Amino acid sequence: MIRDTHGHVWNLGRADRVPLIVDCSGRGGTANANSKPSDRTVYVATNTEPHDCIIVGAGAAGLTAARALQAQGKRVLVLDKGRGVGGRMATRRIGEYRFDHGAQVLFGLPLELRFLLSDDPDRAVVRPCVSAPHQSEPGASSGLFAGVNGMSAIAKTLAEELAIETSVRITSIGWRDDCWHFASESGAAYTARTTILTPPVPQILRLMEHSGIELQSPVESDLRQVQYEPCLALLVTVDPQACRLDQTFVHPDGGCVKLLVDNHAKGVSAQPGAVTLHASAAYSEAMFEAPEEEIARQMLHDVGSYIDTSQATWQLHRWRYSQAVSRLSESYVALEQPGPLLFAGDGFGWGRIEGAVWSGRQAAEHLLTHVL
């Protein structure tokens, strides 16, 4: 079940090292008037029955953690600032065309996702995508996999039967009366005995700072070492005859585009002519705030040998945190004081979607073993 802030309800059909557990007791752990400047507002939850766990972020880590906790009978709520679930497992429809514009494949299939495979094509959510040598991760089956109807189908399936509220932007959290209290931008408030935060690490750190929660050294310094690459994604629609891609995935030599994806050949778009372009990290960093037209003009110019862009239409999406390129080796971080607070996601362990799944599962196992 997914409910947004407008009241709409939708029913949607290995890092081997042990986690880092730290004690963040002391001032800054509670949400009181002295912990931050007076412009910070603390809301009181209207629902007086706290959840066992509130998970912020409905990406791979958050959804996996929620499923693991709920399977053990825990009362879990997932909050996400976006309009839908999945994070970078993102599929967009533009007219008759469909595009995967975030993560393109799974590099192996973690145990937690193998139920998505099926010999029945009407039930399969993922399918083998490309038979090519690659580095598999611990606990993952070999091969590359993609969502049958786009990568967002994976997230929507993981979200089934979960309590999820979208379009909720959490602005601060605080510990009091043996519960975490969450304040949102809209004024809605929530409470839970435990919490798992799965947004990109820089966003977690900003939330901690705004909430007046001080992280002890070396935890904060370690977290600040987690670095992400941005990515500019251009969703291009061309006449099928103008598309000269001979492979599903093409990596151009030179230029600002690092990847072209034929969404029709990939099985995402029934209509041919839907091409996703991903810019290089260097170009994305340099041009992230540039006007859309300038970005599109350069990216289309650089792929002219692959697609005729003279009649192309396009949309641009800016991924500020497309993938973690510098990560903590621990699969998650757990804070014991002032209350149970865990950080998880693709910034921990081996990264990517598969690593985020593992991170979320391990964070949930920590709560089940030590707290709940």
Q: Is the dihedral of CA 196, 28, 220, 335 positive or negative?
A: negative
Given a contact cutoff of 8 angstroms between Cβ atoms, the answer to whether 102 and 235 are in contact is no
Helix (H) or strand (E) holding 144: strand 140-147
Lowest mean pLDDT among 105-109, 186-190, 274-278: 105-109
Could you tell me the pTM of the whole model?
A: 0.85
Q: Please state the domain extents for the chain.
A: 2-87+156-226+327-370, 228-326
Could you tell me what percent of the chain has a pLDDT over 90? 73
Evaluate if residue 355 carries a pLDDT over 60: yes
Quickly name the fold that domain 228-326 has: Polyamine Oxidase; Chain A, domain 2 (3.90.660)
pLDDT tens track for 136-185: 444 444 588 999 989 999 999 999 999 999 999 999 999 999 999 999 99
**What pLDDT shows up at residue 49?**
85
Tell me how far apart the alpha carbons of residues 250 and 96 are, in angstroms, rounded to a whole number.
23
Given a contact cutoff of 8 angstroms between Cβ atoms, the answer to whether 243 and 307 are in contact is yes
Mean pLDDT of 121-129: 89
Q: How many helices (H) and strands (E) does the chain have?
A: 8, 21
Mean pLDDT of 59-88: 96
- Tokens representing 281? 């990290």
Residue 210: phi, psi to the nearest 5? -65, -30
Question: 24 or 201: whose pLDDT is higher?
Answer: 201
Mean pLDDT of 358-364: 97
**What pLDDT shows up at residue 262?**
94
Class of the domain covering 2-87+156-226+327-370: alpha beta
Tell me how far apart the alpha carbons of residues 102 and 215 are, in angstroms, rounded to a whole number.
31
pLDDT tens track for 331-350: 999 998 899 999 999 999 98
Closest CA to 345 of 217, 180, 237, 204: 204
Evaluate if residue 100 carries a pLDDT over 60: yes
